[in-house]
Chains A and B, each alone.
Chain A
Amino acid sequence: MSHFSLPSLVANALGSNKGWTKQWAKPEPKANYDVIIVGAGGHGLAAAYYLAKEHNITNVAVLEKGWLGGGNTARNTTIIRSSYLRDESARLYDHALGLWEGLAQEINYNLMFSQRGAMALAHTVHDVQALKRRIYANRLNGIDGEWLSPQQAKAFCPPLNISTDARYPVLGAGLQRRGGVARHDGIAWGFARAASARGVHIIENCAVTGINRAPDGSVTGVETTRGTIGAKKIALSTAGNSSMLLDMAGIRTPIECFSLQALVSEPIEPIFPCVALSNSVHAYISQSDKGELVIGAGTEQYFSYSQRGPLHSVEHTVAAICEMFPIFTRLRMMRNWGGTVDVTPDRSPILGLTPVPGLYINAGWGTGGFKATPGAGHLLAFTIANNVPHDISAPFSLKRFQTGNLIDEAAAASVAH
Protein backbone atom coordinates (compact mmCIF):
# COMPACT_ATOMS: atom_id res chain seq x y z
CA MET A 1 0.00 0.00 0.00
CA SER A 2 1.52 3.34 -0.95
CA HIS A 3 1.56 6.24 1.44
CA PHE A 4 -0.22 9.38 0.20
CA SER A 5 1.94 12.48 0.46
CA LEU A 6 3.12 15.38 -1.64
CA PRO A 7 6.30 13.56 -2.72
CA SER A 8 4.30 10.41 -3.62
CA LEU A 9 1.84 12.54 -5.62
CA VAL A 10 4.68 14.22 -7.50
CA ALA A 11 6.55 10.96 -8.09
CA ASN A 12 3.43 9.25 -9.41
CA ALA A 13 2.50 12.21 -11.56
CA LEU A 14 5.95 12.03 -13.15
CA GLY A 15 5.41 8.29 -13.70
CA SER A 16 2.08 8.91 -15.50
CA ASN A 17 0.27 7.65 -12.39
CA LYS A 18 1.10 4.05 -13.22
CA GLY A 19 2.89 3.45 -9.94
CA TRP A 20 -0.13 3.45 -7.59
CA THR A 21 -0.78 0.14 -5.91
CA LYS A 22 -4.16 -1.38 -4.96
CA GLN A 23 -5.55 0.28 -1.85
CA TRP A 24 -6.76 -2.90 -0.18
CA ALA A 25 -6.33 -6.63 -0.66
CA LYS A 26 -9.03 -8.96 -1.96
CA PRO A 27 -8.27 -12.22 -0.13
CA GLU A 28 -10.22 -15.47 -0.32
CA PRO A 29 -12.15 -16.18 2.89
CA LYS A 30 -10.33 -18.35 5.44
CA ALA A 31 -12.13 -21.14 7.29
CA ASN A 32 -11.98 -19.34 10.63
CA TYR A 33 -11.56 -15.89 12.11
CA ASP A 34 -11.49 -14.50 15.62
CA VAL A 35 -14.07 -11.90 14.67
CA ILE A 36 -16.48 -11.58 11.75
CA ILE A 37 -18.10 -8.26 11.07
CA VAL A 38 -21.12 -8.46 8.79
CA GLY A 39 -21.54 -5.42 6.55
CA ALA A 40 -18.72 -3.44 4.93
CA GLY A 41 -20.37 -0.07 5.26
CA GLY A 42 -18.45 2.74 6.92
CA HIS A 43 -19.46 1.44 10.36
CA GLY A 44 -18.32 -2.15 9.83
CA LEU A 45 -15.03 -1.11 8.24
CA ALA A 46 -14.38 1.38 11.04
CA ALA A 47 -14.99 -1.34 13.62
CA ALA A 48 -12.49 -3.61 11.85
CA TYR A 49 -9.90 -0.84 11.77
CA TYR A 50 -10.25 -0.01 15.47
CA LEU A 51 -10.23 -3.72 16.42
CA ALA A 52 -6.86 -4.01 14.74
CA LYS A 53 -5.46 -0.69 15.83
CA GLU A 54 -6.66 -0.37 19.42
CA HIS A 55 -7.25 -3.96 20.49
CA ASN A 56 -4.62 -5.76 18.45
CA ILE A 57 -7.23 -8.14 17.04
CA THR A 58 -6.29 -8.60 13.40
CA ASN A 59 -7.68 -12.02 12.56
CA VAL A 60 -10.85 -10.31 11.40
CA ALA A 61 -13.07 -10.58 8.33
CA VAL A 62 -15.59 -8.04 7.14
CA LEU A 63 -18.21 -9.80 5.02
CA GLU A 64 -20.18 -7.76 2.52
CA LYS A 65 -23.03 -9.01 0.36
CA GLY A 66 -22.41 -6.39 -2.35
CA TRP A 67 -19.42 -4.11 -2.70
CA LEU A 68 -17.85 -2.22 0.17
CA GLY A 69 -19.45 1.11 0.97
CA GLY A 70 -22.38 0.44 -1.41
CA GLY A 71 -25.14 0.62 1.20
CA ASN A 72 -26.34 3.74 2.98
CA THR A 73 -22.75 4.90 3.20
CA ALA A 74 -22.94 5.52 -0.56
CA ARG A 75 -26.42 7.04 -0.48
CA ASN A 76 -26.39 9.62 2.26
CA THR A 77 -26.14 13.40 2.25
CA THR A 78 -23.08 13.33 4.56
CA ILE A 79 -24.25 15.84 7.14
CA ILE A 80 -22.07 15.68 10.23
CA ARG A 81 -22.89 17.34 13.55
CA SER A 82 -23.08 16.43 17.21
CA SER A 83 -25.83 18.83 18.25
CA TYR A 84 -28.16 16.23 19.74
CA LEU A 85 -30.41 17.03 22.67
CA ARG A 86 -30.05 14.21 25.20
CA ASP A 87 -26.92 13.85 27.30
CA GLU A 88 -26.38 10.27 26.12
CA SER A 89 -26.71 11.27 22.45
CA ALA A 90 -24.53 14.34 22.87
CA ARG A 91 -21.71 12.17 24.23
CA LEU A 92 -22.18 9.57 21.53
CA TYR A 93 -22.23 11.90 18.54
CA ASP A 94 -19.55 14.21 19.90
CA HIS A 95 -17.28 11.22 20.45
CA ALA A 96 -17.69 10.53 16.72
CA LEU A 97 -17.13 14.15 15.73
CA GLY A 98 -13.96 14.22 17.82
CA LEU A 99 -12.66 11.20 15.90
CA TRP A 100 -13.55 12.78 12.53
CA GLU A 101 -11.44 15.79 13.45
CA GLY A 102 -8.14 13.90 13.42
CA LEU A 103 -9.03 11.04 11.13
CA ALA A 104 -7.71 12.07 7.71
CA GLN A 105 -4.20 12.42 9.17
CA GLU A 106 -4.50 9.27 11.22
CA ILE A 107 -5.46 7.01 8.30
CA ASN A 108 -3.58 9.01 5.66
CA TYR A 109 -6.66 9.46 3.51
CA ASN A 110 -8.37 12.55 2.20
CA LEU A 111 -11.88 12.35 3.65
CA MET A 112 -12.78 15.81 2.36
CA PHE A 113 -14.00 16.47 5.89
CA SER A 114 -15.11 20.07 5.92
CA GLN A 115 -16.32 21.75 9.10
CA ARG A 116 -18.26 24.43 7.32
CA GLY A 117 -20.98 24.65 9.96
CA ALA A 118 -24.39 22.98 10.23
CA MET A 119 -27.20 25.49 10.57
CA ALA A 120 -30.72 24.46 11.61
CA LEU A 121 -33.41 26.95 10.65
CA ALA A 122 -36.33 27.99 12.83
CA HIS A 123 -39.59 28.95 11.09
CA THR A 124 -42.02 28.95 14.00
CA VAL A 125 -42.00 30.08 17.60
CA HIS A 126 -41.90 26.44 18.60
CA ASP A 127 -38.84 25.88 16.39
CA VAL A 128 -37.13 28.83 18.09
CA GLN A 129 -37.82 27.43 21.54
CA ALA A 130 -36.77 23.91 20.61
CA LEU A 131 -33.56 25.03 18.92
CA LYS A 132 -32.56 27.36 21.75
CA ARG A 133 -33.22 24.62 24.25
CA ARG A 134 -31.00 22.31 22.22
CA ILE A 135 -28.20 24.88 22.02
CA TYR A 136 -28.27 25.35 25.80
CA ALA A 137 -28.32 21.60 26.36
CA ASN A 138 -25.40 21.19 23.95
CA ARG A 139 -23.36 23.86 25.69
CA LEU A 140 -23.89 22.16 29.04
CA ASN A 141 -22.42 19.08 27.38
CA GLY A 142 -19.42 21.02 26.09
CA ILE A 143 -20.67 21.05 22.51
CA ASP A 144 -20.44 24.27 20.54
CA GLY A 145 -23.69 25.91 19.52
CA GLU A 146 -24.89 29.43 18.94
CA TRP A 147 -28.10 31.22 18.13
CA LEU A 148 -28.19 33.38 15.00
CA SER A 149 -30.67 36.13 14.21
CA PRO A 150 -32.18 36.02 10.70
CA GLN A 151 -29.64 38.67 9.60
CA GLN A 152 -26.75 36.70 11.06
CA ALA A 153 -28.07 33.54 9.40
CA LYS A 154 -28.16 35.35 6.07
CA ALA A 155 -24.63 36.64 6.54
CA PHE A 156 -23.51 33.07 7.23
CA CYS A 157 -25.50 31.65 4.31
CA PRO A 158 -26.13 34.35 1.66
CA PRO A 159 -28.60 32.40 -0.54
CA LEU A 160 -31.05 32.24 2.38
CA ASN A 161 -34.32 34.13 1.96
CA ILE A 162 -35.08 35.95 5.23
CA SER A 163 -37.88 38.17 3.95
CA THR A 164 -40.74 38.33 6.40
CA ASP A 165 -43.37 37.60 3.77
CA ALA A 166 -41.97 34.16 3.00
CA ARG A 167 -44.49 31.37 3.50
CA TYR A 168 -42.30 30.05 6.33
CA PRO A 169 -40.23 33.05 7.40
CA VAL A 170 -36.85 32.39 8.99
CA LEU A 171 -37.04 33.44 12.64
CA GLY A 172 -33.47 32.51 13.43
CA ALA A 173 -31.10 29.57 13.34
CA GLY A 174 -29.05 27.30 15.55
CA LEU A 175 -25.50 26.89 14.33
CA GLN A 176 -22.90 24.29 15.18
CA ARG A 177 -19.69 25.55 13.59
CA ARG A 178 -17.90 22.22 14.06
CA GLY A 179 -20.60 20.54 11.94
CA GLY A 180 -20.14 19.98 8.23
CA VAL A 181 -19.80 17.33 5.55
CA ALA A 182 -17.33 14.70 4.33
CA ARG A 183 -16.88 12.56 1.26
CA HIS A 184 -19.22 9.55 1.63
CA ASP A 185 -16.99 7.07 -0.24
CA GLY A 186 -13.85 8.48 1.33
CA ILE A 187 -14.64 7.21 4.80
CA ALA A 188 -15.41 3.69 3.56
CA TRP A 189 -12.35 3.54 1.31
CA GLY A 190 -10.11 5.12 3.94
CA PHE A 191 -11.11 2.65 6.65
CA ALA A 192 -10.95 -0.28 4.19
CA ARG A 193 -7.42 0.68 3.23
CA ALA A 194 -6.30 1.23 6.82
CA ALA A 195 -7.92 -2.01 8.05
CA SER A 196 -6.53 -4.05 5.16
CA ALA A 197 -3.05 -2.70 5.87
CA ARG A 198 -3.36 -4.11 9.40
CA GLY A 199 -4.32 -7.55 8.11
CA VAL A 200 -8.12 -7.42 8.15
CA HIS A 201 -9.81 -9.42 5.36
CA ILE A 202 -12.50 -7.55 3.46
CA ILE A 203 -14.61 -10.03 1.52
CA GLU A 204 -17.11 -8.68 -0.96
CA ASN A 205 -19.93 -10.50 -2.78
CA CYS A 206 -20.35 -12.62 0.32
CA ALA A 207 -23.87 -12.44 1.78
CA VAL A 208 -24.42 -13.87 5.24
CA THR A 209 -27.41 -16.23 5.11
CA GLY A 210 -27.30 -17.85 8.53
CA ILE A 211 -25.71 -17.61 11.97
CA ASN A 212 -24.35 -20.88 13.38
CA ARG A 213 -24.57 -21.61 17.10
CA ALA A 214 -23.10 -24.09 19.54
CA PRO A 215 -25.36 -26.20 21.79
CA ASP A 216 -24.87 -23.59 24.56
CA GLY A 217 -26.28 -20.92 22.22
CA SER A 218 -23.05 -19.07 21.55
CA VAL A 219 -22.06 -18.26 17.98
CA THR A 220 -19.68 -20.48 16.04
CA GLY A 221 -19.73 -18.77 12.65
CA VAL A 222 -21.85 -17.87 9.68
CA GLU A 223 -23.28 -19.43 6.56
CA THR A 224 -22.56 -17.32 3.50
CA THR A 225 -22.97 -17.44 -0.25
CA ARG A 226 -19.26 -18.32 -0.28
CA GLY A 227 -19.51 -21.15 2.23
CA THR A 228 -19.37 -21.62 5.98
CA ILE A 229 -16.97 -19.37 7.87
CA GLY A 230 -16.18 -19.91 11.54
CA ALA A 231 -15.78 -17.15 14.12
CA LYS A 232 -15.65 -16.78 17.89
CA LYS A 233 -17.40 -13.44 17.75
CA ILE A 234 -19.77 -11.93 15.22
CA ALA A 235 -20.83 -8.30 14.96
CA LEU A 236 -23.74 -7.22 12.79
CA SER A 237 -23.36 -3.80 11.20
CA THR A 238 -25.88 -4.12 8.41
CA ALA A 239 -28.02 -0.98 8.73
CA GLY A 240 -31.23 -1.57 6.72
CA ASN A 241 -30.86 -5.37 6.82
CA SER A 242 -30.36 -5.72 10.56
CA SER A 243 -33.77 -7.15 11.44
CA MET A 244 -33.24 -9.99 8.99
CA LEU A 245 -29.78 -10.79 10.35
CA LEU A 246 -30.94 -10.74 13.96
CA ASP A 247 -33.84 -12.95 12.90
CA MET A 248 -31.23 -15.55 11.92
CA ALA A 249 -30.27 -15.68 15.58
CA GLY A 250 -33.87 -15.70 16.76
CA ILE A 251 -33.86 -12.11 17.98
CA ARG A 252 -36.81 -9.82 17.23
CA THR A 253 -35.95 -6.16 16.80
CA PRO A 254 -37.47 -2.77 17.59
CA ILE A 255 -36.62 -1.55 14.08
CA GLU A 256 -38.71 -0.60 11.07
CA CYS A 257 -37.32 0.15 7.63
CA PHE A 258 -38.35 2.97 5.35
CA SER A 259 -37.03 4.64 2.23
CA LEU A 260 -35.20 7.93 2.50
CA GLN A 261 -34.46 9.87 -0.66
CA ALA A 262 -31.87 12.40 -1.72
CA LEU A 263 -31.10 14.24 -4.92
CA VAL A 264 -28.43 16.42 -6.50
CA SER A 265 -28.59 19.38 -8.83
CA GLU A 266 -26.43 20.09 -11.84
CA PRO A 267 -22.99 21.30 -10.70
CA ILE A 268 -22.60 25.05 -10.26
CA GLU A 269 -19.94 27.47 -9.02
CA PRO A 270 -19.41 27.57 -5.24
CA ILE A 271 -22.45 29.36 -3.83
CA PHE A 272 -23.55 27.49 -0.73
CA PRO A 273 -21.02 27.79 2.09
CA CYS A 274 -22.56 25.66 4.83
CA VAL A 275 -25.05 22.94 5.63
CA ALA A 276 -28.61 24.17 6.16
CA LEU A 277 -31.32 22.02 7.70
CA SER A 278 -34.96 22.80 8.12
CA ASN A 279 -37.21 20.40 9.89
CA SER A 280 -40.38 22.45 9.53
CA VAL A 281 -40.29 22.69 5.75
CA HIS A 282 -38.41 19.40 5.50
CA ALA A 283 -35.28 19.93 3.51
CA TYR A 284 -31.53 19.66 3.99
CA ILE A 285 -28.97 21.14 1.68
CA SER A 286 -25.25 21.57 1.16
CA GLN A 287 -22.95 21.86 -1.85
CA SER A 288 -20.50 19.14 -2.80
CA ASP A 289 -16.94 19.80 -3.92
CA LYS A 290 -18.08 18.85 -7.44
CA GLY A 291 -20.50 21.78 -7.26
CA GLU A 292 -23.77 19.87 -7.04
CA LEU A 293 -26.31 20.92 -4.47
CA VAL A 294 -26.94 17.86 -2.31
CA ILE A 295 -30.49 17.79 -1.03
CA GLY A 296 -32.17 15.39 1.38
CA ALA A 297 -35.85 14.63 1.75
CA GLY A 298 -37.89 13.26 4.66
CA THR A 299 -38.46 9.57 5.36
CA GLU A 300 -41.29 7.96 3.40
CA GLN A 301 -44.34 6.95 5.40
CA TYR A 302 -44.56 3.25 4.52
CA PHE A 303 -42.32 0.22 5.19
CA SER A 304 -39.86 -0.33 2.40
CA TYR A 305 -36.81 -2.25 1.30
CA SER A 306 -36.95 -0.96 -2.28
CA GLN A 307 -34.18 1.66 -1.93
CA ARG A 308 -36.33 4.13 -3.81
CA GLY A 309 -39.23 6.45 -3.13
CA PRO A 310 -42.02 8.34 -4.83
CA LEU A 311 -41.58 11.50 -6.87
CA HIS A 312 -44.06 13.54 -4.85
CA SER A 313 -41.69 13.58 -1.87
CA VAL A 314 -38.90 14.87 -4.07
CA GLU A 315 -41.23 17.55 -5.39
CA HIS A 316 -42.17 18.53 -1.85
CA THR A 317 -38.51 18.78 -0.88
CA VAL A 318 -37.56 20.83 -3.92
CA ALA A 319 -40.49 23.16 -3.24
CA ALA A 320 -39.14 23.74 0.25
CA ILE A 321 -35.65 24.44 -1.10
CA CYS A 322 -37.04 26.95 -3.61
CA GLU A 323 -38.99 28.62 -0.83
CA MET A 324 -35.95 29.05 1.39
CA PHE A 325 -33.47 29.74 -1.41
CA PRO A 326 -35.37 31.38 -4.30
CA ILE A 327 -32.08 31.83 -6.16
CA PHE A 328 -32.22 28.08 -6.95
CA THR A 329 -35.65 28.04 -8.61
CA ARG A 330 -34.18 27.73 -12.13
CA LEU A 331 -31.66 25.06 -11.22
CA ARG A 332 -32.05 21.61 -12.79
CA MET A 333 -31.96 18.48 -10.67
CA MET A 334 -29.79 15.69 -12.04
CA ARG A 335 -30.31 12.50 -10.08
CA ASN A 336 -32.33 11.19 -7.20
CA TRP A 337 -32.06 7.93 -5.29
CA GLY A 338 -33.12 6.26 -2.08
CA GLY A 339 -31.72 4.14 0.70
CA THR A 340 -33.33 1.81 3.24
CA VAL A 341 -33.07 3.38 6.67
CA ASP A 342 -33.39 1.33 9.88
CA VAL A 343 -35.48 3.38 12.28
CA THR A 344 -35.94 2.71 16.01
CA PRO A 345 -38.88 3.90 18.15
CA ASP A 346 -36.77 6.56 19.90
CA ARG A 347 -34.67 7.41 16.82
CA SER A 348 -31.51 6.42 18.66
CA PRO A 349 -29.19 3.62 17.58
CA ILE A 350 -28.69 0.20 19.14
CA LEU A 351 -25.05 -0.62 19.89
CA GLY A 352 -23.99 -3.42 22.17
CA LEU A 353 -24.47 -7.00 23.25
CA THR A 354 -27.36 -9.25 22.27
CA PRO A 355 -28.96 -12.12 24.21
CA VAL A 356 -26.82 -14.49 22.09
CA PRO A 357 -23.28 -14.97 23.50
CA GLY A 358 -20.65 -13.73 21.06
CA LEU A 359 -23.13 -11.79 18.92
CA TYR A 360 -22.96 -7.98 18.85
CA ILE A 361 -25.19 -5.44 17.19
CA ASN A 362 -24.70 -2.00 15.70
CA ALA A 363 -27.92 -0.86 14.02
CA GLY A 364 -30.85 1.51 14.11
CA TRP A 365 -28.87 4.57 13.04
CA GLY A 366 -31.75 5.27 10.68
CA THR A 367 -31.51 8.57 8.88
CA GLY A 368 -28.48 9.88 10.75
CA GLY A 369 -25.64 7.41 11.12
CA PHE A 370 -23.09 8.67 8.62
CA LYS A 371 -21.87 11.31 11.05
CA ALA A 372 -21.31 8.59 13.61
CA THR A 373 -19.20 6.32 11.37
CA PRO A 374 -15.85 6.51 13.20
CA GLY A 375 -17.55 6.69 16.61
CA ALA A 376 -19.83 3.71 16.02
CA GLY A 377 -16.88 1.66 14.74
CA HIS A 378 -14.71 2.69 17.66
CA LEU A 379 -17.33 1.81 20.27
CA LEU A 380 -18.33 -1.42 18.51
CA ALA A 381 -14.69 -2.53 18.42
CA PHE A 382 -14.39 -1.87 22.16
CA THR A 383 -17.58 -3.85 22.80
CA ILE A 384 -16.41 -6.81 20.71
CA ALA A 385 -12.93 -6.85 22.22
CA ASN A 386 -14.06 -6.58 25.85
CA ASN A 387 -17.45 -8.25 25.65
CA VAL A 388 -18.90 -5.29 27.59
CA PRO A 389 -20.38 -2.08 26.24
CA HIS A 390 -18.26 1.06 26.27
CA ASP A 391 -19.39 3.72 28.78
CA ILE A 392 -20.52 5.97 25.95
CA SER A 393 -22.60 3.37 24.14
CA ALA A 394 -23.92 1.55 27.23
CA PRO A 395 -27.21 3.53 27.28
CA PHE A 396 -27.86 2.47 23.66
CA SER A 397 -28.45 -1.17 24.51
CA LEU A 398 -31.06 -3.43 22.96
CA LYS A 399 -32.34 -3.89 26.52
CA ARG A 400 -33.61 -0.32 26.78
CA PHE A 401 -36.83 -1.21 24.99
CA GLN A 402 -37.59 -3.55 27.88
CA THR A 403 -36.45 -1.31 30.72
CA GLY A 404 -38.09 1.74 29.19
CA ASN A 405 -34.92 3.85 29.28
CA LEU A 406 -35.48 5.25 25.80
CA ILE A 407 -33.29 8.04 24.47
CA ASP A 408 -35.83 10.12 22.67
CA GLU A 409 -34.31 12.01 19.79
CA ALA A 410 -37.47 11.73 17.70
CA ALA A 411 -39.13 15.06 18.27
CA ALA A 412 -36.49 16.51 20.53
CA ALA A 413 -33.55 16.77 18.17
CA SER A 414 -35.93 18.21 15.59
CA VAL A 415 -33.71 17.36 12.60
CA ALA A 416 -33.58 14.01 10.87
CA HIS A 417 -29.95 13.99 9.78
Chain B
Amino acid sequence: MLLIDCPYCKEMRPEVEFSHAGEAHIDRPADPSSLSDEEWESFLFLRSNRAGICFERWYHIHGCGRYFNAVRNNVSEKFILTYPAGQKRPSDAQIKGALS
Protein backbone atom coordinates (compact mmCIF):
# COMPACT_ATOMS: atom_id res chain seq x y z
CA MET B 1 0.00 0.00 0.00
CA LEU B 2 1.25 3.48 -0.85
CA LEU B 3 2.00 5.93 1.95
CA ILE B 4 0.90 9.38 0.91
CA ASP B 5 1.96 12.72 2.35
CA CYS B 6 -1.13 14.96 2.34
CA PRO B 7 0.09 18.56 1.89
CA TYR B 8 -2.85 19.90 3.94
CA CYS B 9 -2.81 17.42 6.81
CA LYS B 10 0.99 17.37 6.67
CA GLU B 11 0.95 13.72 7.58
CA MET B 12 1.91 10.45 5.92
CA ARG B 13 -1.31 8.45 5.61
CA PRO B 14 -2.10 5.05 4.02
CA GLU B 15 -3.43 4.85 0.48
CA VAL B 16 -6.85 3.55 1.57
CA GLU B 17 -7.64 7.04 2.90
CA PHE B 18 -7.23 8.50 -0.57
CA SER B 19 -8.78 8.22 -3.95
CA HIS B 20 -6.89 8.80 -7.16
CA ALA B 21 -8.37 11.52 -9.34
CA GLY B 22 -6.57 11.31 -12.68
CA GLU B 23 -3.86 13.30 -14.39
CA ALA B 24 -2.98 16.68 -12.89
CA HIS B 25 -2.52 20.05 -14.60
CA ILE B 26 -5.17 19.61 -17.26
CA ASP B 27 -6.79 23.03 -17.43
CA ARG B 28 -10.50 23.35 -18.01
CA PRO B 29 -11.16 25.24 -21.24
CA ALA B 30 -11.73 28.94 -20.56
CA ASP B 31 -14.34 29.21 -23.31
CA PRO B 32 -15.89 25.75 -23.85
CA SER B 33 -18.28 26.79 -26.61
CA SER B 34 -15.39 27.88 -28.82
CA LEU B 35 -13.62 24.49 -28.67
CA SER B 36 -13.17 22.38 -31.79
CA ASP B 37 -13.69 18.60 -31.73
CA GLU B 38 -9.92 18.12 -31.66
CA GLU B 39 -9.61 20.39 -28.64
CA TRP B 40 -12.42 18.58 -26.83
CA GLU B 41 -10.73 15.27 -27.56
CA SER B 42 -7.51 16.59 -26.16
CA PHE B 43 -9.10 18.00 -23.01
CA LEU B 44 -11.39 15.04 -22.28
CA PHE B 45 -9.41 12.03 -23.41
CA LEU B 46 -5.78 12.45 -24.47
CA ARG B 47 -3.33 11.77 -21.67
CA SER B 48 0.43 11.69 -21.10
CA ASN B 49 0.55 8.11 -19.81
CA ARG B 50 4.32 7.69 -19.84
CA ALA B 51 6.32 5.30 -17.75
CA GLY B 52 8.35 7.18 -15.16
CA ILE B 53 7.54 10.58 -13.67
CA CYS B 54 3.81 11.32 -13.66
CA PHE B 55 1.67 14.18 -12.38
CA GLU B 56 -1.55 13.13 -10.75
CA ARG B 57 -4.39 14.35 -8.56
CA TRP B 58 -5.32 12.72 -5.29
CA TYR B 59 -8.36 13.29 -3.08
CA HIS B 60 -7.94 12.83 0.67
CA ILE B 61 -11.44 11.45 0.85
CA HIS B 62 -11.19 9.87 4.30
CA GLY B 63 -9.12 12.71 5.74
CA CYS B 64 -9.33 16.42 5.12
CA GLY B 65 -11.55 15.90 2.06
CA ARG B 66 -9.38 18.05 -0.19
CA TYR B 67 -7.71 17.58 -3.57
CA PHE B 68 -3.97 17.94 -4.06
CA ASN B 69 -1.39 17.06 -6.70
CA ALA B 70 1.52 14.68 -6.64
CA VAL B 71 4.62 13.94 -8.64
CA ARG B 72 5.31 10.23 -8.57
CA ASN B 73 7.45 7.68 -10.34
CA ASN B 74 4.92 5.16 -11.64
CA VAL B 75 7.54 2.47 -12.19
CA SER B 76 9.08 2.48 -8.70
CA GLU B 77 5.74 3.75 -7.25
CA LYS B 78 7.69 6.29 -5.14
CA PHE B 79 6.18 9.70 -4.42
CA ILE B 80 8.53 12.57 -5.19
CA LEU B 81 6.43 15.58 -4.21
CA THR B 82 2.93 16.44 -3.09
CA TYR B 83 1.57 19.98 -3.18
CA PRO B 84 -1.76 21.82 -2.89
CA ALA B 85 -4.10 22.03 -5.86
CA GLY B 86 -3.76 25.28 -7.76
CA GLN B 87 -0.01 25.43 -7.29
CA LYS B 88 2.04 25.45 -10.50
CA ARG B 89 3.46 22.25 -11.89
CA PRO B 90 6.92 21.76 -10.33
CA SER B 91 9.84 22.39 -12.64
CA ASP B 92 12.31 19.69 -13.65
CA ALA B 93 14.84 21.34 -11.31
CA GLN B 94 12.41 21.13 -8.38
CA ILE B 95 11.73 17.47 -9.12
CA LYS B 96 15.46 16.75 -9.37
CA GLY B 97 15.97 18.58 -6.09
CA ALA B 98 13.29 16.54 -4.36
CA LEU B 99 14.85 13.35 -5.69
CA SER B 100 18.31 14.09 -4.32
Residues of A within 8 A of B (CB): 241, 243-244, 247, 252-257, 301-306, 310-312, 345, 401-404
A310 to B2, CA, bound (A): 8
Contact B56 A303 (CB under 8 A): yes
Interface centre among B22, B42, B74 (most CB of A within 10 A): B74
Which of chain B's residues 59-93 have a Cβ closer than 8 Å to chain A?
A: 72, 74-77
Cα of A401 to Cα of B16 in the assembled complex, Å = 32
- B50 on the A face (CB < 8 A): yes
Residue of A nearest to B39 (CB): A402
Given A253-B47, A310-B1: A303 in contact with B38 (beta carbons within 8 A): no
The answer to whether A252 touches B20, judged by C-beta atoms less than 8 angstroms apart, is no
Query: Does the CB pair B2–A302 fall under 8 Å?
Result: yes
A244 touches B51 (CB 8 A): yes
Cβ-based interface call for B31 (8 A): no
- Of residues 17 through 61 on chain B, the ones whose CB sits less than 8 Å from some CB of chain A are 19-20, 22-23, 37-38, 40-42, 44-52, 54, 56
Judged by DSSP, the binding face of B is mixed
Residues of B within 8 A of A (CB): 1-2, 15-16, 19-20, 22-23, 37-38, 40-42, 44-52, 54, 56, 72, 74-77
CB-defined contacts of B75 to chain A, threshold 8 Å: 304-306
> What are 22 sample pairs from A and B whose C-beta atoms fall under 8 A apart?
A243-B48, A244-B50, A252-B42, A254-B45, A255-B47, A256-B22, A256-B49, A257-B49, A257-B74, A302-B72, A303-B72, A305-B52, A305-B75, A310-B1, A310-B2, A310-B15, A311-B1, A312-B1, A312-B16, A401-B45, A402-B40, A403-B37
Contact between A304 and B49, CB atoms less than 8 A apart = no
Evaluate contact between A252 and B50: CB separation under 8 angstroms: no
Further pairs besides A241-B51, A253-B46: 12, Cβ < 8 Å:
A243-B48, A252-B42, A254-B45, A256-B47, A302-B20, A303-B23, A303-B54, A303-B74, A306-B76, A345-B44, A345-B45, A404-B37
Identify which of B1, B40, B46, B72 contacts A252 (C-beta below 8 A). Answer: B46
Residues on the B chain within 8 Å of A404, using CB: 37
Q: Please name all residues of chain B whose beta carbon is closer than 8 Å to the beta carbon of A310 when the two chains form the complex.
A: 1-2, 15
Inter-chain residue pair count (beta carbon < 8 A) = 71
| Bound-complex Cα distance A310 to B3 (A) | 11
User: What is the bound-complex CA distance between A303 and B52, given in angstroms?
Assistant: 10
- Structural contact, B54 and A402, CB atoms closer than 8 A: no
Query: Interface on chain A toward B: helix, strand, loop, or mixed SS?
Result: mixed
Tell me whether A402 and B49 are in contact (CB under 8 A).
no
A346 to chain B, nearest CB (A): 9
Across-interface contacts of A345 in B (CB, < 8 A): 44-45
Given A301-B19, A301-B20, A402-B41: A306 in contact with B46 (beta carbons within 8 A): no
The minimal Cβ–Cβ distance linking B67 to chain A, given in whole angstroms, is: 14
Q: What residues on B are CB-neighbors of A252 within 8 Å?
A: 42, 46-47
B1 near A302 (CB under 8 angstroms)?
Answer: no
**Listed residue (A304, A305, A306, A403) with the most chain B CB atoms within 10 angstroms of its CB:** A305
